[in-house]
Amino acid sequence: AQKVTQAQTEISVVEKEDVTLDCVYETRDTTYYLFWYKQPPSGELVFLIRRNSFDEQNEISGRYSWNFQKSTSSFNFTITASQVVDSAVYFCALSGGIQGAQKLVFGQGTRLTINP
């Protein structure tokens, strides 16, 4: 069975601090995909990133970066110099299998609050 664990239920930091959101996953598939989504107060889920299991390169997009480590089954997300607009619930998700477009299994989410 596939499982995604986001152990941090809530995180609160002061603006401009760096913050890392943890994600640990379990799967028996050798090919799988990992995702991060942002859910701002408006409620829509916003796609942030997708990684496949064969690509362990870290990725950076502006203030966002992702650290994928198969050895620890983790896919952590770091926001550098956080801003109030980063306040949201962040979900890590996993999709497995070579067909790719299978159901996403989500973690429980981490509520991030950035205080001015």
Partner 1 sequence: GAGVSQSPSNKVTEKGKDVELRCDPISGHTALYWYRQSLGQGLEFLIYFQGNSAPDKSGLPSDRFSAERTGGSVSTLTIQRTQQEDSAVYLCASSQGGPYGYTFGSGTRLTVV
| Shortest Å distance, C-beta 54 to partner 1 | 11
| Shortest Å distance, C-beta 16 to partner 1 | 28
Residue 15 vs 53, nearer CB to partner 1: 53
Residue 85 vs 101, nearer CB to partner 1: 101
Q: What is the 3-state secondary structure (H, E, C) of the chain?
A: CCEEECCCCEEEEECCCCEEECCEEECCCCCEEEEEEEECCCCCCEEEEEEECCCCCCEEECCEEEEEEHHHCEEEEEECCCCHHHCEEEEEEEEECCCCCCCCEECCCEEEEEEC
| Shortest Å distance, C-beta 86 to partner 1 | 19
Residue 10 vs 18, nearer CB to partner 1: 10
Residue 9 vs 116, nearer CB to partner 1: 9
The rounded distance, in Å, linking the Cα atoms of 92 and 84 is: 21
Binding residues (CB under 8 A) for partner 1: these are 33, 35, 37, 43-45, 47, 50, 52, 91, 93, 95, 99-109
